[in-house]
Amino acid sequence: MIAETGHYALILALAVAIVQMVLPVIGTRLRDPQLTAVAVPAAQAEFILIGIAFIALTTAYVTSDFSVLNVWQNSHSAKPLLYKISGVWGNHEGSMVLWVLILALFGAAVATFGTNLPRQLQANVLAVQGSIAVAFLLFIIMTSNPFARLDPAPFDGQGLNPVLQDPALAFHPPFLYAGYVGFSMAFSFAVAALIDGRIDAAWARWVRPWTLAAWMCLTIGIAMGSWWAYYELGWGGFWFWDPVENASFMPWLAGTALLHSALVMEKRDALKVWTILLAIITFSLSLMGTFLVRSGVLTSVHAFAVDPERGVFILGIMAVFIGGAFALFAWRAPLLSQGGLFAPISREGSLVLNNLLLTVACAAVLVGTLYPLALEAVTGEKISVGAPFFNLTFVPLIVPLLIAVPFGPLLAWKRGDLYAAAQRLMVAAIVSLGVMIVALAINQKGPWLAPLGIGLGVWLLMGAATEIATRVKLFDASSTESWRRARNLPRAAYGSALAHAGVGLMVIGLVATTAWRTERIEALAPGGTVDIAGYQLKFEGVAPRQGPNYQERVAVFEVTRDGNPVTELRPSKRAFAVEKSATTEAGIHNSWRGDLYVVLGDELKDGGYSIRVYFNPMVRLIWIGALVMFFGGGVSLSDRRLRVGAPKRAKPKSKTATVAAEGR
Amino acid sequence: MTRKQRRGVLIGTCLAVLGVAVGLVLYAMRDSIVFFYGPSDVAGMEMAPGQRFRLGGLVEEGSVERGTGTTVRFVVTDGAKTLPVTYTGVLPDLFREGQGVITEGVLEPDGVFHADNVLAKHDENYMPPEVAAKLKEQGVWRDETGADGPESKVN
């Protein structure tokens, strides 16, 4: 009964979404306020109905209702509750329901909190959101019904793939979807603006918070996935340039560019056409990510048994939305007026450079991801494009951008002074050079480029500090004056400085761990030892242990450093009887120098085990950097100027106030 | 600067960055692409010494030999031809006899494929599409991804 309610709610939601797609557009064309106003309650009803469907599916999972096919395929009564719940989106059908739920949530948010939007814009935005919902609800109902029944109901389920039974992975998909789907807001606003043929700085002010929120979710979602891959897959790697990883990374790159170009549009009323185009591209890449993962066209650690019919359906959805949006763009974009002139050396100019490099780097990733598909379709040859390709193309394109980052915020709008900015960055440059020289001196092995990379990371950190120091006139004004300025600085300024510092931390972590990682593969009998990076590991032996839904063999390692005990590591191999599968749990010891990472391998003939030990220097900075970027986004989002529905600040009264506001 | 000059700077920068990007992509395409072959393909072609490629197929039943060290030997088959493989390291959890596998490495003159990477898959019922295609070519395809296989998704 519960499952049928859910199914019925999905079909009702489709009907409501069709209303939401059609009536408001007719209303705005005919200038009929009543038809236009339908958009708001329709978006709210759609969210409630999809919410009911989602709750119904979750209930079926929590109560282990194995008469529902989807629950039987992906759950088991012995599974811990957290993984029963995360099992809802740990499969194709359920994850699509989560996808439309988040879509409807964003739509309902615009309907409920967007009361200060012009009616016509709001109605058009909700109509475009409705059309996306129609496409995906049709897709779910026609090809991927999560509520299909099984008769007779089996006694127990088949369980969830064990590698997915993990806390980080439980929340990785919701964040990722919130990111993907969040970019649909930017897309809907862009299409609505094209339908209207009107766009202004206010448009950018409404779009920015949505894009920022989506970007934050995508950042943390990708970081979680990478963190999970690092400790769960037992390879000690954190990024594999796998096509599906690329599929989430490309919208992130385009979204980052969109954030920066929307800034130009909001402040200077320039780059309008480009911002609209970027909004369309970003969401198109999100749709492509959805397609690549679910169609089975790619070989990837993420791609699983898939149904080609679904791939064709999503390809159709992609063709309609991307093709439609680009056609609309080609037709209507010339109507949009050009605004704000600026010199090449200016804040706008630096943001254009940011956009140029980000989109070109994104295009390089796109080429590497799709080239194997194209080649196979044309010649039938099968190839894989792996890390070497991306290191050779992506890295040289992104490094100039990272070098340029600290300059951007120090340049004035319209016409900047590069020489003055460089002078302000003198301290940052000297510190980075110093760190680079120290790194070069202690860098005995590893590539000579590594110290330069570390210097680049420090440069970004110092650049972020310089930006804040310049704005509060640290050391140039009295300390009380600096303190007053620091308190009055808009939060968006702290947000962007934090985000840029996060990139710096990430660069340091990436470079250090890639260049100076050490690896040992040994065959060890109990009592044997391995030395790595100053640690000594003594293998004590292997013991069996019973977990909630698995059996495991746990190895015990005593870790010492210069004879002093450090810790005990317990890597294990888990065997999941229900799922007939196995996972590796790495033993990880974390210190400020880096991670000691031990993996238990197979048993050998003589009673020994093959053991793999890594030392990953400073690897955690990668995820700490991502967290800092996330918080930077959050701080920026809390800025009152961006808060959705916040009243506009009163007009500055005196001329000095105006000058102070422009100085920001 | 006139409006025209500004536009010139903008377009010039864009073209320069695009040109560099195209150059990098073309250069990387030449050097860092890895081809995928089955044992039958390898038997029928001249391989340049030291050329990296991916070898895919089924792990032959009864062929896995673990010594006392960390080196593992096994044989990859596509039903028609076989190729011996050695790999030093820890095998992925789902590496089993009779299952599909993808390995990456170099074919040495002794006729043994020295793999430095054995790819793990998240799902025991999953067959890499390349392997499935090769097996279909050789006519030994069994439909292992039956309707009752759990489907799962990370993303």
pLDDT in tens, A339-373: 667 888 888 889 999 999 999 999 999 999 888 88
Alpha-carbon distance values, A489 to A412, A485, A499 (Å): 16, 6, 16
User: Is A398 part of any domain?
Assistant: no
Determine, yes or no, domain membership for A188.
Answer: yes
Output the 3-class SS for A494-533.
HHHHHHHHHHHHHHHHHHHHHHHCEEEEEEECCCCEEEEC
**Whether the Cβ atoms of residue A470 and residue A462 lie closer than 8 Å to each other:** no
Number of domains chain A is built from: 4
| CA angle (B35, B38, B39) in 5-degree steps | 125
CB contact under 8 A, A388 and B25: no
pLDDT reported for residue A372:
84
Asked whether residue A462 carries a pLDDT value surpassing 90, the answer given is yes
Minimum Cα–Cα distance from B26: chain A residue: A393
Which comes out higher in pLDDT, residue A417 or A663?
A417
Is the ipTM here above 0.90? Answer: no
Average pLDDT over residues A106-118: 88
Looking at the domain assignment, is residue A399 inside a domain? no
- Enclosing H/E stretch for A248: helix A243-268
Residue A663's pLDDT is: 39
Residues above pLDDT 70, as percent of chain A: 94
pLDDT in tens, A224-263: 989 988 888 777 788 888 888 888 999 999 999 999 999 8
**CA A638 from centre of chain:** 20
Question: Is the domain of A475 the same as that of A529?
Answer: no
Residues 6+ apart with CB under 8 A from A556: A539, A540, A541, A542, A543, A568, A569, A570
Q: Are strands A609-617 and A518-524 parallel, antiparallel or unpaired?
A: antiparallel
Indicate the pairing of strand B82-88 with strand B113-119: parallel
The pLDDT of residue B133 is 67
A626 CB within 8 Å of a chain B CB: no
pLDDT for res B130: 62
Asked if residue A151 lies in contact with residue A21, where contact means CB atoms within 8 angstroms, the answer is no
The per-residue pLDDT for B109 is 85
Last residue of a domain, one of A112, A134, A160: A160
B72 or B128: which leads in pLDDT: B72
- Say yes or no: A486 and A523 in one domain: no
Which of A216-220, B24-28, B137-141 is predicted with the least confidence, judged by mean pLDDT? B137-141
Measured distance CA(A294)–CA(A297) in Å, rounded: 8
- Chain A contact for B3 (CB, 8 A cutoff): yes
Distance from CA of A643 to the nearest CA of B (A): 30
Q: What is the pLDDT of residues A115-151, one digit of tens each?
A: 888 888 899 999 999 999 999 999 999 988 999 888 8
**Most confidently predicted of A278-282, A295-299, A573-577:** A278-282
Evaluate if residue A570 carries a pLDDT over 80.
yes
Choosing from A139, A160, A181, the residue where a domain stops is A160
Residue A499 falls inside a structural domain: yes
Bigger pLDDT: A653 vs A401: A401
Mean pLDDT across A90-95: 86
Same domain, A143 and A197: no
- Residues of chain A with C-beta less than 8 angstroms from the C-beta of B10: 344, 352
Regarding whether A187 and A63 lie in a shared domain, the answer is no
pLDDT at A385: 84
Element (H, E) at A611: strand A609-617
In chain B, whose CA is at the least distance from the CA of A344?
B6
Q: Which candidate, A165, A13, A1, places its Cα nearest to that of A83?
A: A165
Tell me which residue of A252, A186, A181 sits closest to A223, measured CA to CA: A252
Mean pLDDT along residues A79-93: 87
User: Are A356 and B17 an interchain contact pair (Cβ–Cβ within 8 Å)?
Assistant: yes
User: What pLDDT was estimated at residue A219?
Assistant: 96
Tell whether A396 is covered by a domain: no
Specify the pLDDT at position A653. 42
A561 & A576 share domain: yes
For A35-58, b/e burial (b = at least 16 CB within 10 A) is bbbbbbebbbbbbebbbbbbebbb
Tell whether the model's pLDDT for residue A626 goes beyond 90: yes
In this structure, is residue A391 part of a structural domain? no
**What pLDDT does B154 receive?**
35
A178 or A475, which is more confident: A178
- A646 and A597 in a single domain? The answer is no
| Average pLDDT rounded to a whole number, residues B55-79 | 84
pLDDT digits (tens, 9 = 90+) for A222-234: 999 899 888 887 7
Cα separation, A15 vs A17, whole angstroms:
5
pLDDT tens sequence across A428-444: 999 999 999 998 888 77
Per-chain mean pLDDT for chain A:
87
Q: A400 lies in a domain?
A: no
Annotated binding site of B for heme: 122, 126
- Please identify, among A104, A137, A160, the residue that sits at the C-terminal boundary of a domain: A160
Residue A417 shares a structural domain with residue A436: yes
> What are the pLDDT digits (tens) for B120-150?
554 444 455 666 666 666 665 554 433 333 3
In chain B, residues 29-58 whose CB comes closer than 8 Å to chain A: 29, 31-36, 54
> Does A386 lie at the interface with B, CB-CB under 8 angstroms?
yes
Which residues lie across from A600 on neighbouring strands? Answer: A611
Regarding whether A94 and A43 lie in a shared domain, the answer is yes
Q: Is A652 contained in some domain?
A: yes
DSSP code, position A270: -
Statement to judge: residues A208 and A107 lie in one domain: no
Chain segment A397-422, per-residue pLDDT in tens = 999 999 999 999 999 888 888 898 99
**Residue B119 β-bridge partners:** B102
Say whether A344 and B1 touch across the interface (CB within 8 A). Answer: yes
Mean pLDDT value of segment B108-112: 86
Q: Are residues A461 and A544 in the same domain?
A: no
Partnered with residue A587 across adjacent β-strands are: A598
Domain of residue A19: give its range. Answer: 1-160
Looking at the complex, report in whole angstroms how far the Cα of residue B110 sits from the nearest Cα belonging to chain A. Answer: 24
Say how far apart CA B106 and CA A615 lie, in whole Å.
27
**What is the predicted pLDDT for the residue at B75?**
92
pLDDT over 80 (residue A28): yes
pLDDT tens digits along A283-314: 999 998 887 777 666 655 454 445 667 778 88
Query: Which carries the bigger pLDDT value, residue A489 or residue A604?
Result: A489
Among B72, B88, B154, whose Cβ lies nearest the Cβ of A302?
B154
pLDDT at A356: 94
| pLDDT the model gives residue A654 | 43
- C-beta neighbour count of B122 within 10 angstroms: 23
Do residues A296 and A155 both lie within one domain?
no
Are the C-beta atoms of residues A140 and A93 closer than 8 Å to each other?
yes
State the average pLDDT over residues A79-108: 90
Torsion over CA: A632, A638, A644, A650 (sign): negative
Judged by CB atoms within 8 Å, which residues 83-122 of B form the interface with A?
A: 88-94, 102, 119-122
pLDDT of residue A407: 93
pLDDT at residue B94, rounded to an integer: 72
* pLDDT value of residue A297: 63
- CA distances to A498, A505, A575, A621, A635 from A502, rounded to whole Å, are 6, 5, 38, 9, 13
With contacts defined as CB-CB under 8 Å, which chain A residues touch B152? Answer: 74, 90-91, 160-161, 164, 304
- Do A305 and B27 lie within an 8 Å CB cutoff? no
Residue A486 sits in the same domain as residue A530: no
